[in-house]
Structure 1
Amino acid sequence: MRWLPLESNPEVMNAWASALGLSTDAVSFTDVYGLDPELLAMVPKPVYAVVMLFPISKEYETARAAEHERIVDQANRTVVPDNRLIFIKQTISNACGTIGLLHALANNPKIPITEGPLTHFVEQCRSKTPSERAELLEKDGAIADVHADLAQSGQSKVPSLDEVVDLHFVCFVKSHDPATPAEPARLVELDGRKAFPIDHGPMLSCQ
């Protein structure tokens, strides 16, 4: 199964989210222009998630494989338990944009979302495995239709359906361990091409 890719554009992302029930007057996606303090200061607060687009390279794929082996071998805290976050495996080509947005919204229950296709999908996901959630997404016509519609918008030329796209979206969210509520939130990477969520350690700030 293959979809057209979404453009990395706040207008496209907000239209996607609004179509599925997000009140973008209260919470919206915006550009992050850089990691310098003065540029980060321009980002509205609070920040619920970061959706990042980057190019896939041979070097990245090598590093991804090495990371997987290291985590599996060490069985350390870099793996987040399944019951703490909704993590969706990517089985649809070019669906990483929608999966990144789903990860951002599904793992932030304080974000106001009107009851509808998105809230229904998230509720179905709660008792499922990452692979079962991928199957739910494959069969979800409402989300597929919104993705297809918004993939035709934006400022970039729309690629053909069979064109190889070497760009990938991932999402970073904060996660609290219920067993240790006094500890700082953890920064967790949600990448549907990886086997599991990746815990990158404690956050210095939750803003």
Structure 2
Amino acid sequence: MSSPESETQRKAIPLESNPQSFNGLASQFGLDVDSVCFHDVLGFDDELLALVPQPILACVLLYPVDKETMYRKQKVEGSVDRTALVHFRQRVMNQCGTMALLHSLANTPNLPFRDGPIKTLFEECKGLPMDEAAEKLDIVDISAAHTAAALSGQSETPPDDVHPDGGFSAFVSQNGQLVELDGWNDAPLLHGPIQRDLIHSVLEVVKEIAESKQDIRFTVLALAPATQ
């Protein structure tokens, strides 16, 4: 997703929404992808969901956006406990895929992470305001890792003057609530209690966006055990 004009003009190559790119980047960041990794969600029917190892710990959603719908607002009354969340302000255009990956990893407890700068970053940024967390992320500098993962994709790199028309969000569970994290939004979005499980609650959000935009171009990746 491209940034508003008031934001910095730093720009990255968009990350593809596929397990190869996400798992390659997650591995660089320190996740043991032989234990936990990202999987394609091929559909929301029970038969297709059964192909994804359970339990699903977090989801990354790629959905169509435009300037009018870039910032989605809080729809549910209540508040999110920010002291328990890691939420980065996005400062680089087209880096929303990597931001969604970071948000899903940082806010999923007990993941198999090796010691290193990203694990330390997550620990230091828990509960910080978004801009302070972004400052710490800049110090770590994920640009090289992001670029390597983006270039590993199957699509051609878009020209500099072409902006992707999709945006990524991460969906995580906090105290039984579905929380959406996006680096362009000023706050986490609370979607209410998880009624059945995380993936079915994400499906309800997908339906809401699809109905409002009359667009069915969605891709979902699930963070889950590597094997059943």
TM-score (norm 2): 0.76
Contact 1:4 1:160 (8 Å CA) reproduced: no
Determine whether 1:203 maps to 2:191: no
Flag structure 2 segments of 5+ consecutive residues without an equivalent: 1-9, 199-228
Cα 1:38/1:60, change in 2 over 3 Å: farther
Identical amino acids, percent of aligned pairs: 41
Flag structure 1 segments of 5+ consecutive residues without an equivalent: 177-184
| 1:149 to partner: Cα distance | 1.0
| 1:37 to partner: Cα distance | 2.0
Measured in 1, the distance between the counterparts of 2:22 and 2:93 equals: 18
**Offset from partner CA, 1:96-133 (integer Å, 9 cap, x none):** 11110111110112110001121022122125211111
**Offset from partner CA, 1:8-48 (integer Å, 9 cap, x none):** 11011001011111111110100001122222222211111
| 1:58 to partner: Cα distance | 5.3
| 1:89 to partner: Cα distance | 1.7
Determine whether 1:51 maps to 2:60: yes
**Offset from partner CA, 1:119-161 (integer Å, 9 cap, x none):** 02212212521111122223322x2211011111111111234
| 1:51 to partner: Cα distance | 0.3
How many residues get paired? 189
TM-score (norm 1): 0.84
Measured in 2, the distance between the counterparts of 1:19 and 1:32 equals: 23
Please give the secondary structure, in 2, of the residue aligned with 1:173.
strand
Measured in 1, the distance between the counterparts of 2:135 and 2:164 equals: 22
Letter paired with 2:35? A
Contact 2:170 2:181 (8 Å CA) reproduced: yes
Equivalent residue for 2:157?
158
Measured in 1, the distance between the counterparts of 2:155 and 2:107 equals: 29
Q: Quick check: which one's strand share is greater?
A: 2
Runs of 4+ in 1 over 6 A off after TM superposition: none
Equivalent residue for 1:96?
96
Equivalent residue for 1:149?
148
Residue correspondence of structure 1 range 1-207 to structure 2 within 5 A: 1-57=10-66, 60-61=69-70, 64=72, 67=73, 76-77=77-78, 79-126=79-126, 128-141=128-141, 143-176=142-175, 185-206=176-197
Contact 1:96 1:168 (8 Å CA) reproduced: yes
Measured in 2, the distance between the counterparts of 1:20 and 1:56 equals: 28
Looking at both structures, which has the greater relative contact order when contacts are Cα pairs under 8 Å and sequence separation is at least 6? 2
Measured in 2, the distance between the counterparts of 1:119 and 1:160 equals: 33
Contact 1:92 1:138 (8 Å CA) reproduced: no
Letter paired with 1:109? P
Contact 2:118 2:140 (8 Å CA) reproduced: no
Contact 1:10 1:31 (8 Å CA) reproduced: yes
Measured in 1, the distance between the counterparts of 2:115 and 2:197 equals: 27
